[in-house]
Amino acid sequence: MGLRGRLGQFQRLADAEQAQSGDDPIDLGGHHGDWSPWNIRRTVSDMGLYVWDWERSRVDGPVGLDVAHYVMQVGRFIDGQTVAAAARRAQDALTEHLPAFDSDPAGAARLVRIELMETVARMVESGLATQLTDRRDEIIAVLDSMRPAGASA
């Protein structure tokens, strides 16, 4: 099921993204789906990585979404940032790193919006969207603030 379908009662977020981005292409490639410090460990020799929790991986994920997810996770759960601050930090990181993936850095804001919608979708799937209302509403408010003036969600 696509992201829109996974958003449940919050499908309006995907509708607003579609209205904002239209048919602009997005680069696709390998995607872990939960790239975060607690799913990655360096080997003892620092010559490689152990990576686990591959259940969300796909071969056709948005290029750079793992970067957005990692930076957002570190910002929120390690550094204690607000969703808005972590989103700005993720956008800055994507702007810097997307060229290394041969991807346009102008897509950084869109990838952050997709990551925020992915977070809401995961809350819906877990059944926590109605329990974690403060967190959910903070994410939705940041998404809404990333839309151009006059655009509705």
Instruction: Share the mean pLDDT of the chain.
Output: 91
Partner residues linked to 61 by β-bridges: 29
Element (DSSP H or E) covering residue 68: helix 65-73
Beta strands in the chain (DSSP E): 28-31, 40-42, 49-51, 58-62
**Which pLDDT does position 147 carry in this prediction?**
85
148 vs 6, higher pLDDT: 6
Q: Which long-range contacts (CB under 8 A, 24 or more apart) does 4-9 make?
A: 6/121, 6/124, 6/125, 7/117, 7/120, 7/121, 7/124, 8/121, 8/124, 8/129, 9/124, 9/129
Q: What is the mean pLDDT of the segment spanning 38-60?
A: 88
Nearest to 27 by CA among 106, 90, 125: 106
Nearest to 26 by CA among 150, 111, 123, 137: 111
Q: What is the mean pLDDT of the segment spanning 4-27?
A: 91
pLDDT at 116 over 90: yes
Domains in the chain and their CATH numbers? 3-145 (3.90.1200.10)
Tell me which residue has tokens 């850095």.
Answer: 105
pLDDT at 118 over 80: yes
Q: How many other CB atoms are found less than 10 A from the CB of residue 57? A: 15
Q: How many other CB atoms are found less than 10 A from the CB of residue 24? A: 10
pLDDT digits (tens, 9 = 90+) for 66-110: 999 999 999 999 999 999 999 999 999 999 999 999 999 999 999
CB 135 within 8 A of CB 120: no
